Structure 1
Amino acid sequence: MKNATPKPGRPGEVSQWPRWEGPEESRPAGYLPAERNAGTRSGDSREKTRDDALIADQVAAQLEQNPFLDPRSVSVSVEHRRVVLAGVVDTPEASLRAERDALSIEGVYACENRLEVGASESGRLRDG
């Protein structure tokens, strides 16, 4: 094995390698044993809430940098690292860009795009 010493890190992260997820009897030498609930983080709900709040702040900051959006017309909520975008944008492209912006933030697992296409707070009339 090229790097015989496993790196530390949380289960499920690429920084923690090599992890053996198969049966113990066939685990090659040099691999760390698999941990229970490798896809979930240990810790209390305050840690999860703090992570979600940090992600929400980062997504909001990213949306403010997007010249195609009025960030005041988009609300961001995060629960369990899943972002929900709601509000009104001017074009379908702006909606897609907002979703891509949210997904570009490290730690975001999914983005539910509830943005409606119409006029933002810039004063134009909504479609429909």
Structure 2
Amino acid sequence: IYKGLWEIEESFKIIKSEFKARPVYVKKDEHVEAHFLICFVALVIMRVLEQMLGEKHTVKQIRYSLISYSCSYLEQNYYLFDYRDDVIKSFESTFDFDLSKKIMSQSEIKKILQYKNKRKYTTTL
């Protein structure tokens, strides 16, 4: 019975801390339910990513990296990607992305996204 209890407790901790599941600043019941549904779906996605990355990174690390990985428009359809860490490197190897270039054109970004949209990823949970 208690074998997976720590995983359940950790999941609730993640929902409360990382996804700010409480306090909920909504009044209607359906809004509260929608808020918790969004938090739960986010947790499921993060857990799947955690497993796909070989459980080398925590949900907190993955979330921080995804939030931090962004780009800034330079000029003439060129973008600067100025964040890179071990989690991003794991994404590259797991999903066969090349995110090592600091500056990419819009067409390069589109090629990466178009190629990846055609691939199907499967995982066993």
Q: Which has the higher strand share?
A: 1
**Structure of higher CA gyration radius:** 1
Q: Which has the higher helix share?
A: 2
Same fold (TM over 0.5): no
Question: Which band: TM-score by shorter chain?
Answer: under 0.3
TM-score normalized by the length of structure 1: 0.27
